[in-house]
Amino acid sequence: MRSQPTAGLRVALLAIAFVWSSALISAHHSFAAQYDATKPIEMRGTVTKVEWTNPHARVYIDVKDDKGQTANWNFEMASPNILVRNGWKQNTVRVGDQITVKGYLARKGERMAIAGAVADASGKPLFASDPTDIGR
């Protein structure tokens, strides 16, 4: 059962992603060295683990592909400190939540990506990292 994001949510996520991708122009090398700005992704899946850790918080989600195969993805976000200062709580995203993530693929790590924006279970779009300074 995979519900699709609502139209309103899609618009909100696109708005965040637009601001985010505009900021990529001035991205520092640690972003470009690790992530591929030419490979944007949008995934929806079930949260299997949240790591509220430094230097980065991470959210792991099970994502089904077109053939129904499930794979676990590791999304890097900003640090808990930066997320909290941008309005997050530690339990904003929980195991079992269905979330939508927009971001960019890692160049090297397998099934790794950076999340620029996350839509939580309630559909509320949230800042997840700033590519001009991913808060390391």
Q: What are the b/e assignments for 101-113, b being 16+ CB within 10 Å?
A: bbbbbbeeeeebb
Q: Does residue 49 touch other proteins according to CB under 8 A? A: no
Of 10 and 120, CB closest to other proteins: 120
The one-letter amino acid code at 78 reads A
Task: Identify the residue among 15, 19, 33, 95 touching other proteins (CB under 8 A).
Answer: 33
The interface mask with other proteins, positions 58-77, x = CB under 8 A, is x---------------x-x-
Q: Which stretch binds other proteins (CB under 8 A): 27-35, 63-71, 95-103, 116-124?
A: 27-35
What whole-number distance in Å separates Cα of residue 85 and Cα of residue 27? Answer: 21
What whole-number distance in Å separates Cα of residue 5 and Cα of residue 12? Answer: 11
Least distance (Å) between residue 68 CB and other proteins: 28
